[in-house]
Structures are given as C-alpha cells and as structure tokens.
Amino acid sequence: MKTTSGFRSNSIYFLPLKKEHIALVNTLHAYPEVARYNTIGVPKDLETTAKILAHKIDENQESALGWALYDTRKNFIGEAGIILAPQRFQKAEISYSLAPDQWNKGLGTEIAKQLIQYCFNDLGLHRVEAGVAVHNHASIRVLEKAGMNREGTHRKILPLSSGWTDNYAYAILKEEWKALERNL
C-alpha cells in the first residue's frame, strides 16, 4: 500500500492528492500559461482529468505519488508528483505545476527541493530525474536552482499543443544532494 503523507515546507502545504482535488487540478491545467508546456494537454473535462490523475490518487498502487499544493492561507496553488521507476533502479521523476499568479516567487524551486528531499530521505532513492521542454526557461531555472544537472536532450519527445518539442533531461544523485544540504 502507498504511504503518501502530507508535509510542509516553509510556505507550502503538500497534501495527498485525493478525488476532491480533481476539479482544482483541472482548472489549474486549463490556464493557457500552465498548459503551454504540459504534456498531458489541457484537460477536456473532469472525467479526463480524473483518469490522468488516477495513478497518483490510487492508494493500491505504488508507482506514483501526488500532492495538492496549498499556501499558508490554505489556498490551492498547484500540484506535484513523483513517478517511481521499478524498485531495482532506485530512482524517480518529479513534476510540478503552479498557478500563474504563484510564479516568480521562488515557490517552484521550493517545491522541487522538497520533492527531491522526499525522494532521498523518505523513499531512500539513489537518483531523482526531471524533464523540461527546452523553451521552458522558468522550469529550467527551477531545476538548476534545486541542484539538478542537465544530462542531455531528448529530441522531439514532448507532445505539446504547439507540436513535438525537445526535452532537457535533468537529474541529481543522492550524494550530490547530501553535499548541497551540508553547504546550506
């Protein structure tokens, strides 16, 4: 059984993603600014969004974790997730989406750091990965500020609404994260 629990960073509450968050996530991904680099596309309806989020909500599977993100005033501001690789690889991929009115406040970096920390400290993983569209400069900055390293480019791998685009592959290893933590 999945043991997704809630936790808090300095300014964000990470609450386990539940069915009652589906409408909020649907609205979030309907913002054109959010949908621009979103590989799931703009959800057509709540049923489609529910299907997309099912693996992050279903407590009977262990390949994905998901959180609804709230600010300190209890306002929904986004969603985040972790997709786990088969256990022998000891790695995961992180993702996050924030409402446009929350951009440029340092929250993306805070979220990415919390997800990385969760992967290493709570899940005991060896490696954390993230992908980002090559033109998504804000998310590139977030991943780099969180300590991740660009490892390569996947050509025309992302099916965005604007067409197929390239993706930068980012990652951080547990020993790199521990070194960063010691220097903070």
pLDDT digits (tens), the chain, 184 positions:
345 678 999 999 999 999 999 999 999 999 999 989 987 766 778 888 888 888 888 776 778 999 999 999 999 999 999 999 999 999 999 999 999 999 999 999 999 999 999 999 999 999 999 999 999 999 999 999 999 999 999 999 998 888 999 999 999 999 999 999 887 6
Sheet of strand 127-133, all strands in order from the earlier edge strand to the far edge: 7-8, 12-16, 64-71, 76-84, 91-98, 127-133, 163-173, 149-160
80: its two tokens = 């985040």
Q: Are 13 and 6 in contact (CB under 8 A)?
A: yes
Instruction: Quote the pTM value.
Output: 0.93
Q: Which helix (H) or strand (E) holds 107?
A: helix 107-117
Domains and CATH numbers, the chain: 7-130 (3.40.630.30)
Query: What would the two tokens of residue 109 be?
Result: 């970096």
